[in-house]
Amino acid sequence: MALQIAMPKLEWSDLPTDLLGLILKKLDLFDLFRFRWVCCSWNLAVQSYMASHSYTSPPQNPWLMRLDEDDGKANISFLSQEGNKVFQVNNVFGELAWCFGSTKGWLVILDRTKILNLVNPLSGGKIQLPLVPKYNGLDYYPKKYNGRLPTRPYITKAVLLSDPTRTKDFAIVVRYRYIGRLTFCKFGDNKWTEFGGKKYHDMICHSSNGQLVVAYGNLVVEVWDFQGAFPTKVGRFRSSSRPLVPPQVKTLVGTVVHSKMAKDLYFQFYLVESMGEILVLLRLAFLYTGTEDSSTFTFAAFKVDYSGKEFGMVYNLVGRALFISRNESVSTTTHPQYKENSIYFTEDYYPNDNARKIGVCNLGDAITNIIDIQPSNCSWCTWFVPS
């Protein structure tokens, strides 16, 4: 009779660390993200691998992050155009929490207790920040939202000036909705401090020096440095002449206005860093006649010239595409999935905040196409650049 030896039953979670390391080296960042959510041991393996000196994250194209509401719980889906990959994380924020943006690979979450948190969905890291103060007595959420996720939190954007994954010496700036004021805190602070004193349109972090670039008024750009205990304004740029609107944009606007398709015209400025340059994007949107729906119609782009303090018109984004939203704006070199000289945007324009759609505008002919990407329970979407 042959001797039979019972072999122990092995689970996928029991794979040796060395073997997991070999597998991880073959995965791109999106698959690493999915890999870490399989089980605790694989999660730890990913964290150890990404924290090692041998790991370097390649440049990433933005993912579309979609926030879906399900019985008061926030589920997020990440969509990568490269390979059409989709991954969902359920109830990552807790009940009645709200994500109002992403910055340097971190999500900015306001939970039901009105505590602000930074959450890294890839590494699993979480950092609690001080309670954000009210502004002139106004609250973060509408007073009544009937147990549902709030659609218009009072905070609309946050920007990290350095990556908490790489340093604890970081600062974060928050922009209030409607009034556009800015407040900041640094790691270890127990309160937020307001600065600037203007109604700002948008803000970004300049990647080369970690300074904050902000825009307000009729194309005024300021640069703030955060090396000291309090921010210092180190630059202010204002065009000596009002920027010209491209002829094709004027033609499109005139056509819609004269056809009486629209009853009002809105515009909004956005900042984006692209190949070391600071660009200001002007979004034009119409409020259509007989409805409360608005739709982005076209864009114009200007480049900040620091030496001449001018804002020059940009007609062609050679070899690159831009991705903008109220919460995050980035630039990428042309990829087969994206069109050169194009602006990809989330349709999160006021007044209807219909951020369940995305669009693409070709800067050359100013033609815009809108794409509905929503399931019925989608609250909004934004761009997310993993780190």
β-strand partners of 313: 302
3-state SS class at 46: helix
Q: Is the pLDDT of residue 143 over 70?
A: no
pLDDT above 50: residue 261: yes
Q: Are 119 and 111 in contact (CB under 8 A)?
A: no
For residue range 123-133, list pLDDT tens digits in order.
778 899 988 76
- Average pLDDT over all residues of the chain: 76
- pLDDT category, 3, cuts 50, 70, 90? low
**Which pLDDT score, from 0 to 100, does residue 207 have?**
85
Q: What is the predicted pLDDT for the residue at 227? A: 92
- CA-based torsion, 158, 159, 160, 161: positive or negative: negative
Indicate whether 288 pLDDT > 80. Answer: no
Considering the entire predicted model, what is its pTM? Answer: 0.81
Q: How much is the pLDDT for 50?
A: 76
| CATH class of the domain defined by 59-384 | mainly beta
Closest CA relative to residue 101, chosen from 348, 374, 384, 298: 384
CA distances from 166 to 3, 106, 159, 161, 258 (A): 56, 12, 16, 12, 54
pLDDT for res 172:
94
**Looking at residue 349, what is its pLDDT?**
57
Between 222 and 335, whose confidence is greater? 222
Q: Which residue has the higher pLDDT, 170 or 367?
A: 170
pLDDT of amino acid 375 = 52
pLDDT-based confidence at 39, cuts 50/70/90?
confident
pLDDT per residue over 192-216, tens digit each?
A: 999 998 889 899 999 888 999 999 9
Q: Which residue has the higher pLDDT, 190 or 165?
A: 190
Per-residue pLDDT tens over the stretch 335-372: 667 888 889 888 765 544 545 677 888 887 766 776 65
pLDDT at 122 over 50: yes
Q: Which of 111, 107, 76 is nearest to 96 (CA)?
A: 111
**In the chain, where are the structural domains located?**
17-58, 59-384
- Beta strands 310-314 and 320-324 are unpaired
